[in-house]
Amino acid sequence: MTDFSKGFTRREFAMGALMVAPVSGLVSKLVAAGSTSAEPASANASAFAKASADKSAESQAQKIDGVEIGAITYSFRSMPNPVDIIAAMKRHSAIAPLVEGGELKEYSAHLIPEAGLSMMPEMTGHGLLIAGDAAALCLAAGIWLEGVNFAMASGMYAGQTAIEAITNGDVTQRGLGGYARRLSDTFVLRDHRKLRRAPELVLSDRVQHLYPSMITGIAERMFRVDNPAAKPGLRRIFREERKRAGVGVRHLIKDGRAAFRSFG
């Protein structure tokens, strides 16, 4: 179990910030809702304004039906247990007052199908159309992280296909073939085909861990002053940091080609 008493690492903080920031904004809005735009003329007026603001904020807080707290994690091997992350977030000063004394209503988890085209099932069956996450229509390509748009479009095309099949009196797999055609002819599968190599690249251990370590090492040494030692050349820095990070030349070339073919 991870000990959070010493604080978060940068990676854990980045993940937690996805939920901390919205909740912090909510707290700010609650306080702002009771603030006054006119400066008080005396200490008594200031105290009155503060009391009014506190009362207004408390009144607004009472209208909140519930608070949802969540976190996005990638690899359970390199990340702390999600349960521990949620528990630490609930102890955060921006969240703790909102959940103190609260009752847990729901606890859930959801796996995001990020492997792209390679993990998509057959989209049609007898009387069956598969859309959204069930069809693995999620694009985790680093620059783009999309899923809702594909879910909406596939649901729309599934509805159109169902109407067409029912009208024709044929809801067999063949009769529902228009669904695959609609997906293939639009951005839904065109984007996935173009970026079919991206998920494997972006979610690889090299891109997630080794390359960031190598790049930050290069940047740090470029701007570091090691007098009286002479400054090393960029090629030497690159070679030494690449070896230190454990990045092979073969993998560097392979990943560079995959990135160019996906994003170029």
pLDDT digits (tens, 9 = 90+) for 89-131: 899 998 898 888 888 888 888 778 878 888 899 999 999 999 9
- Same-domain status, 225 and 181: no
- Does the residue 121 lie in any domain? yes
Q: What confidence score (pLDDT) does residue 125 get?
A: 92
- Same-domain status, 194 and 213: no
Share of residues in the chain with pLDDT > 70 (%): 73
Identify the domain boundary among 99, 132, 161. Answer: 99
* Band (262; pLDDT cuts 50, 70, 90): confident
- Same-domain status, 147 and 182: yes
Identify the domain boundary among 55, 73, 99. Answer: 99
- Does the residue 110 lie in any domain? no
- Does the residue 83 lie in any domain? yes
* Band (14; pLDDT cuts 50, 70, 90): very low
- Same-domain status, 18 and 55: yes
Q: Between 11 and 235, whose confidence is greater?
A: 235
Q: What confidence score (pLDDT) does residue 52 get?
A: 54
- Tell whether omega for the bond before 228 is within 30 degrees of 0, i.e. cis: yes
The domain total for the chain is: 3
Residue-number span of the structural domain to which 41 is assigned: 10-99
Q: What confidence score (pLDDT) does residue 55 get?
A: 54
- Does the residue 107 lie in any domain? no
Quick: pLDDT tens for 180-218: 999 999 999 998 888 888 888 888 888 888 999 999 999
- Same-domain status, 81 and 134: no
- Same-domain status, 120 and 63: no
- Does the residue 5 lie in any domain? no
Quick: pLDDT tens for 39-66: 333 444 444 344 555 555 555 545 567 8
- Does the residue 123 lie in any domain? yes
Q: What confidence score (pLDDT) does residue 140 get?
A: 79
* Band (158; pLDDT cuts 50, 70, 90): very high
> Residue 55 and residue 52: Cα distance in Å, rounded?
5
- Same-domain status, 196 and 210: no
* Band (163; pLDDT cuts 50, 70, 90): very high
Q: Between 78 and 97, whose confidence is greater?
A: 97
- Does the residue 222 lie in any domain? yes
- Same-domain status, 61 and 132: no
| 35, pLDDT greater than 60 | no
- Same-domain status, 31 and 67: yes
- Does the residue 2 lie in any domain? no
Mean pLDDT of the chain: 77
Which residues make Cβ contacts (< 8 Å) with residue 13, sequence separation at least 6? none
Amino acid identity for residue 88 in this structure: A
Identify the domain boundary among 150, 165, 200. Answer: 200
- Same-domain status, 195 and 210: no
